[in-house]
Structure 1
């Protein structure tokens, strides 16, 4: 439980408060201008008491984070993971106490990373459609982040067979072959609205057809789970129907505060040491000269008009904010969502203080990978593995919720009818 006695010391920057409340910085600034919020004169931050009645703030104050992270499996639970990538989800599940018995991934560098760091893991490299999942016995839980592909709907019944040819079909097949008690799938937030909601509706139909009851899906914001990054993921949790009426899944509680890049890069609550120097991409000379003019937390519109025109070229005249272009991150905010490369022009991720793209270990810390987790392959292969990963701390928070669910199933199964007191 969060120590509410210290809450008078808590203050939020405009940027962090905007992230917590899912509002823009301009909205927070307008509230200040109207006198609804009054920043502290010394720091410019908003005291907790002015925003403490907001639901998101209340959840952080009254969090059960420590209690939930103390949950341990009452027996060894066997986990199968699909689309394992560089290991973000698998590490979080391991930290929560789950035992990986099979991991499937197609990318050879990611597989080498998994094997290098966990030689005892059963990593099956290759096309998921070629994997026989019946070899995995007595599976308790199956997890994975399937790539979202379009389904064809014309004249279809929107069931299991209709998803053939997609990677979701292969995940559904794995579920059918292993019959786990629970499964969890994660995907991009956009899956909620993909193809006007029809894609998600098809997935829900298939989950029902497989014999599972879907918990109402949620989009989780990584900043609430001790991750210094504004990443959002859609989470699907489903319980086998013969067990679903006995138990209830509880979503993880948020952490007591929001982590920023300062937490990621310097010794403190998130990591015991400063981030180590590591390989990283570099800017061409002229781009570096232009990027050096962008202030911390700024982007292309903070450049002079001449530099804006030079950098943006034809995009200068197009509509839209293009807020990812020439973007320098801020030490006192969470990072923007990482991509598979920190120097893509549309999604620039420039270091807050130095004029260079983020390095590999900085990338890894923003995704909350342990410092001793070593990525295999080229520098660009490492960026790709990290950028595509589920943040480890988010995965761990979900893992503890899943362990609690499996514990509840286990304990309910142990209750024999003759032992139930009917009085």
Structure 2
């Protein structure tokens, strides 16, 4: 049976990979430069995607792939996934963006552009911080949008998405950008996935030790609220005592599967979780993307109708 193939750029610890693997897709190329994140990625995904590692398709620096050898180094694929570096556009990164010459991370989008231009994937799926929309008075996002739509010829859909809208007990608002090649024909426009009910609260994740009243928690979004109420978990209070989240609890908040292990120190594990994506939100969007690809496949040829989705 044919399966959709995807690549996982700026892969982190594999949030995109786990989500799309659950949907039955195959990862044919991945890239991550951080040595500690690479260790975690391979430790947890080598058994799920052995071909990726056996074929040496787990790249350690996407900048090593020049425009001249993209076709040689990256196999053909259907979906490009990239949670490209967000620090230059985030509040924590002082909103530096494309203009920060000393920080190459802000220019990684242009590497994505080069890969899209060379490989022409059917779909692109990008994730970044919500502040990207307004960075530099909107000029940064306007540049990205113009490149994807006008230069590369993709039909774009974008939305601010909260992890809590897809069953996870945290806000974590992120900008999701989905693009489809304009030359492909589809029966219907792309539809954003429906919201999903909360599966677990922070009380569940912390073993039932938290106060059950969660109203304030959903509003403050992890920041100090000034309400002076212990039900505000900006510091995760249990009976008035601050509690530091463990990496195990962080994994549950992000939707990673049971059995996921960190072969690194706890400080590194928490850093990696802070840079990761919300798996359940990615999976919901991945299902919506692949559902639409199936619509195009039914128009193109009967041979591709056999693609089965596991949403």
Corresponding position of 2:259 = 372
Q: Once the 2 structures are TM-superposed, how far is the Cα of residue 152 of structure 1 from its aligned partner? A: 4.5
Give the direction of change, closer, same or farther, for the CA distance of 1:265–1:400 in structure 2 (3 Å limit).
Answer: farther
**Contact 1:361–1:371 (8 Å) recurs in 2:** no
Alpha-carbon distance in structure 2 between the residues aligned to 1:183 and 1:298 = 36
Structure 2 Cα separation of the partners of residues 110 and 368 of structure 1 = 17
Q: Which residue of 2 aligns with 1:414?
A: 301
How far apart are 1:92 and its partner, in Å? Answer: 1.0
Counterpart CA distance in 1 for 2:173 and 2:11 is 18
Q: Which residue of the partner structure matches residue 29 of structure 2?
A: 102
Q: Does 1:216 align with 2:117?
A: no
Q: Does 1:173 align with 2:114?
A: yes
Q: 1:265 to 1:240 in 2, by over 3 A?
A: same
Among 70, 90, 100, the residue aligned to 1:133: 70
Secondary structure of 1:147's match?
coil
How far apart are 1:176 and its partner, in Å?
1.6
* Conserved 8 A contact 1:86-1:113: yes
| CA–CA separation in structure 2 for the residues paired with 1:189 and 1:182 | 21
Q: Choose the corresponding residue for 1:151, options 80, 95, 98.
A: 98
- The equivalent position to 2:224 in structure 1, one of 323, 327, 341, is 323
1:225 and 1:208 map into 2 onto residues whose CA distance is 28
Shift of 1:239: 0.7
Q: In structure 2, what is the equivalent of residue 350 of structure 1?
A: 236
Q: Distance in 2 between matches of 1:297 and 1:362?
A: 21
Query: Which structure 1 residue ranges, 5 or more long, are not aligned?
Result: 1-73, 154-162, 268-273, 275-294, 300-321, 336-347, 417-423
Find the residue that maps to 1:100 and give its secondary structure.
Answer: strand
Equivalent residue, structure 2, for 1:361: 248
Q: List per-residue Cα deviations over 1:5-51 (Å, max 9, x = no partner).
A: xxxxxxxxxxxxxxxxxxxxxxxxxxxxxxxxxxxxxxxxxxxxxxx
Which structure has the larger Rg?
1
CA distance in 1, matches of 2:230, 2:58: 37
Cα distance in structure 1, aligned partners of 2:78 and 2:38: 23
Aligned to 2:18: 91
CA RMSD across the alignment: 3.3
In the alignment, which of 290, 293, 300 is matched to residue 403 of structure 1?
A: 290
Q: Which runs of 4+ in 1 moved over 6 A?
A: 295-299
Cα distance change, pair 140–85 in 1 and its aligned pair in 2 (3 A): same
TM-score (norm 2): 0.77
Work out whether 1:203 is the aligned partner of 2:130. Answer: no
8 Å contact from structure 1 (residues 184, 235) kept in 2: yes
Q: Contact between 1:86 and 1:114, CA under 8 Å: does it hold in 2?
A: yes
SS at match of 1:142: strand
- Which residue in 1 is equivalent to 2:58? 124
Task: Evaluate the alpha carbon distance shift between residue 221 and residue 213 of structure 1 in structure 2; reply closer, same or farther with a 3 A threshold.
Answer: same
Equivalent-residue separation in structure 1 for 2:284 and 2:186 (angstroms): 24
Q: Relative to structure 1, is the Cα distance of residues 377 and 164 closer, same or farther in structure 2, using a 3 angstrom cutoff?
A: closer
Q: Look up the match of 1:249.
A: 190
* Equivalent pair of 2:168/2:198 in contact (CA under 8 Å): no
8 Å CA contact 2:235–2:242 kept in 1: the answer is no
Shift of 1:355: 3.5
Q: Give per-residue Cα distances to partners, 1:304-323, cap 9 Å, x unaligned.
A: xxxxxxxxxxxxxxxxxx71
Q: CA deviation at 1:174?
A: 1.6
Contact 1:214/1:236 (<8 A) preserved: no
Query: 1:165 & 1:244 partners in 2: Cα distance?
Result: 33
Report the Cα distance in structure 2 between the residues aligned to 1:364 and 1:83, rounded to whole angstroms.
19
TM-score (norm 1): 0.57
